[in-house]
Amino acid sequence: MMKRLTGIMLLSFILIAGLAACGSDDSSNQAGDTPKKTTITMGFWGAAQDLKVYQDAAASISETYPNIELKIKQYPSSEQFWNILPGEIAAGVAPDFIKISNEGANEYISKDLFASLDELIPAAGIDMNRFTPASLDIWKKDGKQYGIPNISMPAMFFINEDLWKKAGLGDYPKTWDEVEAAAKKLKTDDVYGITINLDAYHITNYVKSYGGDWGGGKTINSPENVQALQKIFDMYKEGLAVTPKSLGYGWDGEVFANGKAAMTTGGYWYKGYLKDANPNLKYAAVPVPKGTVEGSTMISDAYVVLKDAKNKEAALQAAYYLTNDKTQTEFLKLGFNPAIPSLSAQYFEENPEFKAVEPALEYSTDFNYPTETKKFIDELVKQLEGSILGGTNKSPKEILDSVQQQFK
C-alpha cells in the first residue's frame, strides 16, 4: 500500500503536551469591518490525480460556503505526512483537517488529538444521514463521532495478468495454498512470485484470512495469527516472496508496478497509482485469498478536524463539502468507493476491474489494533524484519508471544 502505515503513528507522543494552535486564519472581525473569508487548509497524501480532484473542489467551495477559502496541501507520502505534521502543529502551521484511514485513528483519538464532531455537526449544518451506517461506526469511539466518512472498501489481492499468462496459469487463486503454488511457477531470476510488505496493513490481511484478529491487543498471539504468519514465513523461506525494502523500493506498489513481483496484497489506491506509474500494466484484482476463512480488512478513509484548529466549524463544513456528489463521483472514477449509498451503488459499474472484490464488502472488518498502535506496529514490524531480513530466526509463535507480552 502507499506507505499508509509506514511511520503512521510517529506524532502520537510528541503531541500529548503543548500543542499549538493550527495555522488557519481567524474569521472574526472588528465591528463594522467587511467580513473576511476564513482560510481552511486540508492535508493529505495520495496520487497526482487525487490532488487535481481536490483542487477542483477547492475552486468551487465558495458556491456553497462563501465564507470559506479552501487550500489543499499534499504530502509526498504517508511517511513524510506523519513525520512533518508534529512540527507543523507545534509551529501553528498544520492543516485544519486531514484525510486519514481507520488503520491508526484510535490512538490519535485516545491521545485527544482530533476534535469530537458531535457538538459541531448541528451548528455546521452537516447531514450525517448521507453516509452508510458502517462507515460512520468505524469513525466512532466511546459513542462520539470523529470523522466525516469518505470511502469504504475491502482490501484486495493484485495479480500481474501478463506474467500470469506467461507462466501458463489458469484460474486466479482463491486460497493462500494456491497462491504459494502459483508463486513457484511465477518465480524467475528477475521476478518474485509475490511481494509481501512487512507492514501491519498487509500482515493484518493475512491474519484475518486465517480467522485471526489482534483483538485490540488481547489476541495478538492467537493460534490463528500464528498460522497466518507461518504462511508468510514459508513463502519467504522458499524464496518466493520479497519485501520492497530488499529491492530498494519504498512500498509494495512500486515493486508491482515495476514488474518485480507478480502478486501482492493491496487496495483501491493501486488504480490511481498504476495509471501514473505503469499505465500499460494489465492486472486483476480479486479478494484477499482464503487461509481458513474469508477475511480481510475494511479500509475507511475519513476527514478529521484537528483538536486545535482555530475555526473547527468552518473546517468541518469544508470537510463535508469534499463529500459532495460531484467530487465523490470523480474519486469513484479513480477507484474509491464512496461512503454514500447512492454513489456506492454505481461503484462497481464505474470500476469493473474491482467487481470481483464486491463480495468482500460483506465480511471485511476493521483493523482492531491495540490503542497503542504505534508501539504495536513498530514492535511487530521490527520483529518480523529481524527474523525474515535480519537473521534472528524467531518463529512466528515466538514473535507474537513476545509482542503479546507488551500488551497484557
Taking CB atoms within 8 Å and a gap of at least 24, the contacts of 275-283 are 275/47, 275/49, 276/47, 276/48, 276/49, 277/253, 281/160, 281/162, 281/256, 281/257, 282/160, 282/161, 282/162, 283/158, 283/159, 283/160, 283/161, 283/256, 283/353
Q: Indicate whether this model's pTM tops 0.85.
A: no
| Same domain flag for 71 and 162 | no
pLDDT(129) > 90: yes
Find the mean pLDDT for residues 50-57.
Answer: 96
pLDDT(28) > 50: no
pLDDT(83) > 60: yes
C-alpha cell recorded at residue 124 = 455546521
**What pLDDT, on a 0 to 100 scale, did the predictor assign at position 408?**
77
Separation of alpha carbons 186 and 181, rounded Å:
9
Separation of alpha carbons 204 and 273, rounded Å:
22
When divided into structural domains, the chain yields a total of 2
| Same domain flag for 230 and 378 | yes
pLDDT(395) > 80: yes
Range of the domain at 397: 156-296+372-405
**What pLDDT, on a 0 to 100 scale, did the predictor assign at position 84?**
85
| Same domain flag for 268 and 203 | yes
Q: Are 126 and 320 in contact (CB under 8 A)?
A: yes
**What pLDDT, on a 0 to 100 scale, did the predictor assign at position 320?**
98
pLDDT(89) > 90: no
| Same domain flag for 192 and 259 | yes
| Same domain flag for 70 and 84 | yes
> Could you please report the per-residue DSSP string of 119-178?
THHHHHT--GGGS-HHHHHHTEETTEE--EEEEEEE-EEEEEHHHHHHTT--SPPSBHHH
- State the amino acid at position 51 in one-letter form: L
Average pLDDT of the chain, as a whole number: 90
| Same domain flag for 80 and 135 | yes
Find the mean pLDDT for residues 214-223.
Answer: 96
Taking only the tens place, the pLDDT of each residue in 174-199 is 999 999 999 999 999 999 999 999 99
| Same domain flag for 65 and 139 | yes
**What are the C-alpha distances in Å from 70 to residues 79, 125, 126, 310, 334?**
24, 18, 17, 14, 22
**What pLDDT, on a 0 to 100 scale, did the predictor assign at position 48?**
87
Tell me, rounded to whole angstroms, the distance of Cα 16 from its chain centroid.
Answer: 24
Q: How confident is the model at residue 123 (pLDDT cuts 50, 70, 90)?
A: very high
Q: How confident is the model at residue 33 (pLDDT cuts 50, 70, 90)?
A: low
